[in-house]
Amino acid sequence: MRLFPTGFIFVTIGLLLNNCSSPPQEFKAQYQSLTEAVYSTATVVPAEIYTVYSPVNGIIEKSFLEEGQLVEQGALLFQVNNRQGNLNQANAALNVQLAQDSYLGESALLRELEERIRSAQIRVTNDSLNYERQAKLWSQNIGSQQSYDAQKLAYELSQNDLSSLRSNYLRTQKELARKLELAQNSLQISAANNEEFTITSRLTGTIYEVLKEEGEFVSPQSAVAVVGSTDKFVVQLLIDEVDITHVFPGQKTLVNLDAFGEQVFEAEITRIYPTKDERSQTFKIEATFKAQPDRLFNGLSGEANIIIAEKDRVLCLSSQLINENNEVNTPQGYVKVTTGLKNLAFTEILSGIDTSTVVYQAE
């Protein structure tokens, strides 16, 4: 038995008398509509947005970047110094011209071979006639074996010479064509490399942020600007990992932005990123406005509630009256209840009590 000091007896009796005069407050479950939602922070971002990087190392020679400026897709954003690249492209163009002159020009090697082939064809024709004449005479026992053999050899040599010239022509033609193709490829590669020094916009939109100015060094690792869509925005939500399994595309979302006071905007979940951010332990989700506000800015913040379940008429009890063991305090003692939907204010009661059950505040 626990003993109390004598001086506290009157105080205790007084408290008991006060409690007797003020009976505990009674509550009862009621039927009402109930909505279960997942809470999230909300940030407005352009529907399309990307960070501009330089694909090459160098100094920004000319910049057309200005925050708030509207740009078209393909518009020039900035130019990186590329004197060496320009020289390489000029040399490549010169090599193409030389290759074209060798293959197609007036001083082409093929022209010389064509002249030699024509001369060889004439020799073959003459040697053929001489050989036929000498063979006819020899068949009539006119002339000598030596003359016949000499004409035959001359005819065969001229044929071989013509065949060799034709083979040489085809080989030279293929070689010159290949050199021209290689020179043209080198020019295309040089031009493509030079294009990397001229950075253009990937989309039509607004320049939201400029991170590098003219004269500054840039590299593929350094961000230069942020460009995004101008008129179309989405809501970016961060969801705790314990709630992510309840969220699906198409769910209604109620968004409240700080810039618009108590005004609530309806949106719909359109994208769920599959990987958790290890730093914040959250998942990123995107929602699209059903009716987008007339004026939005990149970075506007607020909060959102993703509706994961709604019921029109359910038996509900204040969530504060249910303890961690799903029990409620009644005149007959603690009673176990089965719960369904719940939010911060109310919980659905599936079984255990009804509208006639008196419930006290849980101790």
The pLDDT tens digits of the residues spanning 231-277 come to 999 999 999 998 999 999 999 999 999 999 989 999 999 999 999 99
71, 202: one domain: yes
pLDDT tier for residue 166 given thresholds of 50, 70 and 90: confident
189, 202: one domain: no
pLDDT tier for residue 21 given thresholds of 50, 70 and 90: low
41, 87: one domain: no
Residue whose tokens read 């020179």: 183
88-107 pLDDT per residue, tens: 656 667 776 777 777 776 55
172, 278: one domain: no
Query: Is residue 10 a part of any domain in this protein?
Result: no
Say how many domains are in the chain. Answer: 3
Burial zone of 167 (CB within 10 Å; 0-12 exposed, 13-18 middle, 19+ buried)? exposed
From 174, 195, 216, the end of a domain falls on 195
160, 187: one domain: yes
Q: Does residue 46 carry a pLDDT above 90?
A: yes
Q: Which element (helix H / strand E) includes 75?
A: none
Which tokens in the block code for residue 173? Answer: 């033609």
From 227, 248, 279, the end of a domain falls on 227
Question: Which of 189, 182, 120 lies closest to 157, judged by CA?
Answer: 120
Query: Is residue 11 a part of any domain in this protein?
Result: no
Average pLDDT, the chain: 84
pLDDT of residue 227: 96
Distance CA 27, CA 349 (A): 14
From 195, 212, 247, the end of a domain falls on 195
CATH of residue 39: 2.40.30.170
141, 272: one domain: no
Query: Is residue 215 a part of any domain in this protein?
Result: yes
Query: Is residue 7 a part of any domain in this protein?
Result: no
Strands annotated E in the chain:
30-46, 49-53, 58-63, 70-71, 76-80, 198-200, 205-210, 217-218, 223-228, 233-240, 252-257, 264-272, 282-289, 301-318, 327-330, 333-336, 338-342, 346-351
Share of the chain above pLDDT 70, in %: 88
Instruction: Note whether 317 and 360 are within 8 A (CB).
Output: no
146, 90: one domain: yes
Query: Is residue 175 a part of any domain in this protein?
Result: yes
Query: Is residue 34 a part of any domain in this protein?
Result: yes
110, 216: one domain: no
Q: Does residue 188 carry a pLDDT above 70?
A: yes
Q: Does residue 61 carry a pLDDT above 90?
A: no
User: Region 77-97: what's the mean pLDDT?
Assistant: 70
Residue whose tokens read 């290949």: 178
Distance CA 284, CA 235 (A): 10
190, 328: one domain: no
Distance CA 152, CA 184 (A): 48
Residue whose tokens read 């003219």: 214
Compute the C-alpha angle 49/52/56, nearest 5°.
155
| Choice between 226 and 22, residue whose per-residue pLDDT is larger | 226
313-342 pLDDT per residue, tens: 889 899 889 998 999 999 999 999 998 888
100, 187: one domain: yes
243, 342: one domain: yes
| Choice between 70 and 101, residue whose per-residue pLDDT is larger | 70
Structural domain range at position 281:
30-46+232-351
279, 338: one domain: yes
pLDDT of residue 114: 80
Distance CA 270, CA 275 (A): 16
CATH of residue 77: 2.40.50.100
Share of the chain above pLDDT 90, in %: 41
Coil, strand, or helix at residue 242?
Answer: coil
User: Region 191-199: what's the mean pLDDT?
Assistant: 71
Query: Is residue 151 a part of any domain in this protein?
Result: yes
Q: Does residue 291 carry a pLDDT above 90?
A: yes
pLDDT tier for residue 290 given thresholds of 50, 70 and 90: very high
pLDDT tier for residue 15 given thresholds of 50, 70 and 90: very low
Query: Is residue 168 a part of any domain in this protein?
Result: yes
User: Region 110-120: what's the mean pLDDT?
Assistant: 82
